[in-house]
Structure 1
Amino acid sequence: MTEKIIQMLRDRGCKITPQRRAIIQVLASFDKFPTAQEILDHIHQKDPDVGLDTVYRNLNLLISMGVINQISVPGKDLKVFELAHDKHHHHLVCLGCGEANCLNYCPIDDSEIQKSAGPGFKIVGHSLEIYGYCPKCRAAAR
């Protein structure tokens, strides 16, 4: 998967730096969604000279190119990241622990969104994060 993403970046005229390659490889190796700090910690295992600013700068570029998704956890000032999948999907985010999980389908009707937006607005995409509490956090609150 990483080589497919790297080739897509090359096709879009993006230079493939060692830092960008490392970020993509780290994201591909995670089962869950890492924070920027967790990405940096993994990169430091091979290259201790990379800084957090470099990681954020590259994450922002890769987000703008549609290669990475950013998931926000409200109330925790926390953002986690994932490689953008071929299949469009959304996320369930726990407000207690910040865990995010994929909702592997899209519950949004594009025609309804376009009707609400009006004829003058061209929709090119959407993102949905559904917030609540996971079973562990609900049990801990009892």
Structure 2
Amino acid sequence: MQLEKIIQKLKEKGCKITPQRRAVIQSLLNFSKFPTALEVFNDIKATNPDVGLDTIYRNLNLLVEIGIVNSINLPGKDVKVFELSIDGHHHHLVCLNCGQADCLDYCPIDEQGLQTAAGSEFQITGHSLEIYGYCHKCKSALK
């Protein structure tokens, strides 16, 4: 069900539904937490040995660009993780110690105030917010 919903969004945005793109989306659906591009690659490679890592990156970047996938930066690790954006716009809490990323169920950004701060010369089309700190487990270990 979710796969078809996502494919419909892609079609609405004028994107072709290639086997590789379908495989990337299905792989993201397979993960319970946010995978790295390499984890997506390894998942797909198990059933599609001819797929290349550059193809995975290209498809992930396109899906991020059109708003189907969110990219989350993990600090200090020079790594991004990815999630399907099927539940609407939201942000993330990222642990600086273990890298766990959790969804913040709402957007705390005042869009109108943000546009006012940016000024009339800059048109905002979107935003992303990652809040860094320590998860409960890591916070307890720091004491």
**1:100 shift after superposition:** 0.5
Residue 31 of structure 2 is aligned to residue 10 of structure 1: no
CA shift digits 1:71-92 (9 cap, x unpaired):
0011111100001124211000
* CA apart distance, 1:130: 0.2
The SS at the match of 1:42 is: helix
Residue in 2 that maps onto 1:115: 116
Q: Look up the match of 2:83.
A: 82
| Pairwise CA distance, 1:9 | 1.3
Deviation sequence 1:5-54 (CA, Å, 0-9, x none): 11221222211111110110111122210001111111122112212111
* Offset of residue 139 of structure 1: 2.6
Query: Percent identity among equivalent residues?
Result: 63
Q: Classify the secondary structure of the residue corresponding to 1:131.
A: strand
Supply the distance in 2 between the matched residues of 1:136 and 1:48 (Cα, whole angstroms): 38
Q: TM-score, normalised by structure 2?
A: 0.92
Q: String of CA shifts for 1:85-131, please: whole Å, max 9, x gaps.
A: 24211000111111100000111111211121112222221111000
Matched, 1:137 2:138: yes
2:79 is the alignment partner of 1:73: no
Gaps of 5+ in 1: none
Letter in 2 for 1:129: E
Q: TM-score, normalised by structure 1?
A: 0.93
Equivalent residue number for residue 95 of structure 1: 96
* 2:31 match: 30
- Consecutive unaligned residues of structure 2, counting only runs of 5 or more, are none
Aligned residues: 142
